[in-house]
């Protein structure tokens, strides 16, 4: 069995913590591990697992690789999507990349929570047997309440071992319909998790969407391999039809079966969903960070940077990050996406990046900025280096706060230690690297007529960036 980790989501409903360049699957929302890491770690103990295949946005490739490395997971490959085309092409790429068409693919979104691991493992074992018998298995979550935010699967009375034949996939219902679904006992939440052999999935995809499969084969054939990364050809993959597994295959095939799963599942699709799975105080408040409350109940309160005080409220979500504050009624959190849409329309960076931005070499925090200046705190990992680059519109002054910096400045190289500094004139080719064994921290002061991140001309880069 090959775990296939799908990590294409942007998590806009968990803004401002989740952003386009740093979405929720890479965040430690319910434990010290990120959701991606939890997805892999909960498979521990299953026998016969091969190395996983991950599918992610090209922009997230270094976070994917590093977070898997941190928990000791060596991927069979990380497939990079140059454009998002939904789940069916992503799974097709994984199936085409499998060693054998008889390999069972266990398809898992990277951003779910499951608390009952024993029940989950039992369902996987059942799915493995059914997949080897030729079925396309999906996992349907036994509903605990009438939920309007999920699609549903109607199970047939006909059973196939521990599973039911799928009668129908249905869209997200209104509340009255959801209550009827719950009362009938015939409907399960659509989890987006699947199990099938690579060969059987590809046969069904060829039957129902041959163009999608043909484009996927062409894009993978033209792909370039770079370390663990499989870079799909953008020009070819852009022509691929976009569709979900449900629409492309599962709704059409006669081989679909569903395994009912009651394992404490949550897709962490909103702040209220995150409140559901987070430990709470005696008043029902889920609190993270520097927070004080008075007469406050059933709220989710998160502080990243500042002291947050909340008085006399109930059922609120209060989120503070270094560059944004969001306050919402818990029953209105599905509308957070509208705020993100407004930010995108206004061209504001808060939709995509945090003030603290992560790079393959480390991270930086923009601590101050004005019309012609910007100050950053930069942390470079041991052994890492930034690209060899120059800027057309800004000069930079670097002060080492901690560690040792090896600086390339034009034709010279300079070794700087704590409390030492250097100046990089506008237009000078330069590079910063950390030759030491502890993180390098510097303060960078930029000055010039334009200070955007796109004012970078790269001449050489360890990480394959343009």
| Residue among 81, 70, 99 at smallest CA distance from 5 | 81
Supply the angle between the helices 210-221 and 198-208 in degrees, to the nearest 10. 120
Indicate whether 180 pLDDT > 70.
yes
Distance of alpha carbon 216 from alpha carbon 202, whole angstroms:
11
Which position has the token pair 């691929």? 240
Each residue's pLDDT tens digit, 254-312 = 999 999 999 999 999 899 999 999 999 999 999 999 999 999 999 999 999 899 999 99
* Predicted confidence (pLDDT) per residue in 90-129, tens digit: 999 999 999 999 999 999 999 999 999 999 999 999 999 9
Residue 412 above 90 pLDDT? yes
Reply yes or no on whether the pLDDT at 393 is more than 70.
yes
Longest dimension (CA), the chain: 76
pLDDT over 90 (residue 143): yes
The helices-and-strands tally (H runs, E runs) of the chain is 11, 30
Listed residue (311, 443, 435, 256) closest to 361, CA to CA: 435
pLDDT at 400 over 70: yes
Q: What angle do CA 225, 461, 67 make, to 5 degrees?
A: 60
* Of 461 and 12, more confident: 12
pLDDT of residue 439: 96
Residue 269 confidence (pLDDT): 87
Q: How far apart are CA 358 and CA 148, in angstroms?
A: 35
Q: Is 466 a residue whose pLDDT tops 80?
A: no
pLDDT value of position 61? 87
Q: What is the pLDDT at residue 28? A: 92
Question: Could you read off the pLDDT of 316-339 as tens digits, one per residue?
Answer: 999 999 999 999 999 999 899 999
The tens digit of pLDDT for each residue in 47-77 reads 999 999 999 998 888 889 989 999 999 999 9
This prediction has a pTM of: 0.86
Q: What band does 352 get if pLDDT is binned at 50, 70 and 90?
A: confident
pLDDT at 226: 80
Q: Look at residue 248 in the predicted model and tell me its pLDDT.
A: 95
CATH architecture entry for 356-460:
Sandwich (2.60)
Residue 410 has pLDDT above 70, yes or no: yes
- CB distance 316 to 328 below 8 Å: yes
pLDDT tens-place string over residues 205-219: 999 999 999 999 999
Give residue limits of the domains in the chain: 2-266, 271-335, 356-460
The average confidence (pLDDT) of the chain is 93
Q: Among positive and negative, which fits the CA dihedral 346, 350, 355, 359?
A: negative
Give the pLDDT confidence score for residue 8 in this predicted structure: 85
Look at residue 106 and give its three-state secondary structure.
strand
Residues 6+ apart with CB under 8 A from 348: none
Gap between the Cα atoms of 238 and 251, Å rounded: 24
pLDDT over threshold 70, residue 84: yes
pLDDT band at 186 (very low <50, low <70, confident <90, very high): very high
In CATH, the architecture of 2-266 is: Alpha-Beta Complex (3.90)
Helices (H), 98-135: 117-132
Mean pLDDT of all residues in 71-91: 94
Q: What is the mean pLDDT of residues 29-56?
A: 94
In eight-state DSSP terms, residue 246 is I
Q: Per-residue confidence at 435, pLDDT binned at 50, 70, 90? A: very high
Are 314 and 296 spatial neighbours (Cβ–Cβ below 8 Å)? Answer: yes
- Compute φ and ψ for 277, nearest 5 degrees: -105, 10
Q: How confident is the model at residue 368 (pLDDT cuts 50, 70, 90)?
A: confident
């Amino acid at each position: 069995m090959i775990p296939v980790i799908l990590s294409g989501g942007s998590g806009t409903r968990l803004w401002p913590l989740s952003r386009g360049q740093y979405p929720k699957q890479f965040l430690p929302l319910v434990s010290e591990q990120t959701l991606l890491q939890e997805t892999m770690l909960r498979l521990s103990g299953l026998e016969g697992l091969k190395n996983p295949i991950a599918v992610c946005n090209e922009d997230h490739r270094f976070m994917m690789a590093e977070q898997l490395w941190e928990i000791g997971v060596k991927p069979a490959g990380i497939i990079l999507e140059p454009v998002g085309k939904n789940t069916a092409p992503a799974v097709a790429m994984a199936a085409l990349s499998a060693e054998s068409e008889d390999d069972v693919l266990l398809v898992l979104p990277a951003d779910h929570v499951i608390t009952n691991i024993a029940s989950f493992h039992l369902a996987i074992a059942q799915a493995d047997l059914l997949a080897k018998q030729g079925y396309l298995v999906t996992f349907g979550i036994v509903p605990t309440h009438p939920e309007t935010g999920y699609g549903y699967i109607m199970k047939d009375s006909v059973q196939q071992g521990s599973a039911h034949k799928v009668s129908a996939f249905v869209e997200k219902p209104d509340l009255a319909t959801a209550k009827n679904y719950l009362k009938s006992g015939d409907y399960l939440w659509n989890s987006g998790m699947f199990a099938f052999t690579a060969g059987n999935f590809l046969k069904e995809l060829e039957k129902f969407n041959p163009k999608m499969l043909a484009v996927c084969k062409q894009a993978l054939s033209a792909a370039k391999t770079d370390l663990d990364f499989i870079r799909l050809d953008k020009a070819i993959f852009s022509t691929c039809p976009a569709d979900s597994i449900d629409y492309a295959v599962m709704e059409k095939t006669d081989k679909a079966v569903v395994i009912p799963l009651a394992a404490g599942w949550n897709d962490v699709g909103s702040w209220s969903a995150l409140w559901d799975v987070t430990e709470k105080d005696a008043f029902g408040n889920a609190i993270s960070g520097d927070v004080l409350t008075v007469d406050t109940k059933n709220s989710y309160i998160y502080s990243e940077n500042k002291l947050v005080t909340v008085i006399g409220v109930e059922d609120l979500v209060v989120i503070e990050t270094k560059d944004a504050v969001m306050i919402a009624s818990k029953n209105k959190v599905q509308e957070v996406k509208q705020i993100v849409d407004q930010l995108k329309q206004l061209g504001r960076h808060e939709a995509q990046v945090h003030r603290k931005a992560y790079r393959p070499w480390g991270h930086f925090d923009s601590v101050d900025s004005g019309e012609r200046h910007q100050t950053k705190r930069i942390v470079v990992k041991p052994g890492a280096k930034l690209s060899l680059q120059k800027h057309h519109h800004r000069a930079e002054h670097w002060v080492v706060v901690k560690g040792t910096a090896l600086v390339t400045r034009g034709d010279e190289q300079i070794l700087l230690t704590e409390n030492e500094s250097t100046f990089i004139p506008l237009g000078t080719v330069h590079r910063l690297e950390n030759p030491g064994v502890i993180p390098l921290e510097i303060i960078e002061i930029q000055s010039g007529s334009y200070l955007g991140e796109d004012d970078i001309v790269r001449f050489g880069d360890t990480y394959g960036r343009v």
